[in-house]
Amino acid sequence: MSEKIEVGSIMVGKVTGIQPYGAFVALDDKTQGLVHISEITHGYVKDINEHLKVGDEVNVKILSIDEAANKIGLSIRATEEAPAQTIAKPKKPRAKRQTATIIPESDDQQGFNTLKDKLQEWIDQSQREDLVKK
């Protein structure tokens, strides 16, 4: 690897190849590195081909150098200013939940009886001789 390449330095390179996971960038005649897809630009990158093509000259920052594996990690994103935070679109208001309406109980109303109301009726029925099985 070339001696002038140091972690943190910014260089101009030429895109030599594009893969689904990143782009290969030549830093000089003998040295090239990889810009991972997550380091192409700020934000989500679905397809690298929408951002780069072979032959493009790009500014890259050296992120890592692995001399044993002869690999250099690069970033285009690190050379660009981060975009200002955009104001999130206001969310649609949620539909209001319907609340139950309590209707006052009336004498002629039919429906479910509470256990307390039915208990006395059951006791009375159990004591009637004509209803008790023998």
What is the tens place of the pLDDT at every residue in 86-128?
Answer: 666 677 777 777 777 776 666 555 566 677 778 888 888 888 7
What contacts 78, CB < 8 A, 6 or more positions away? 39, 61, 63
Query: Each residue of 2-60: pLDDT tens digit?
Result: 557 888 999 999 999 999 999 999 988 888 899 999 999 888 889 999 999 999 999 99
CA dist., res. 122 & res. 118, Å (int) = 6
Under the banding of pLDDT at 50, 70 and 90, the label for residue 83 is confident
Domain count for the chain, please give it.
Answer: 1
**Domain membership flag for residue 35:** yes
Query: What is the domain extent for residue 73?
Result: 10-79
**Domain membership flag for residue 26:** yes
What's this model's pTM, rounded to 2 decimal places?
0.58
How many CB atoms sit inside 10 A of residue 51's CB?
16
**Domain membership flag for residue 30:** yes
State the Rg of the chain over Cα. Answer: 38
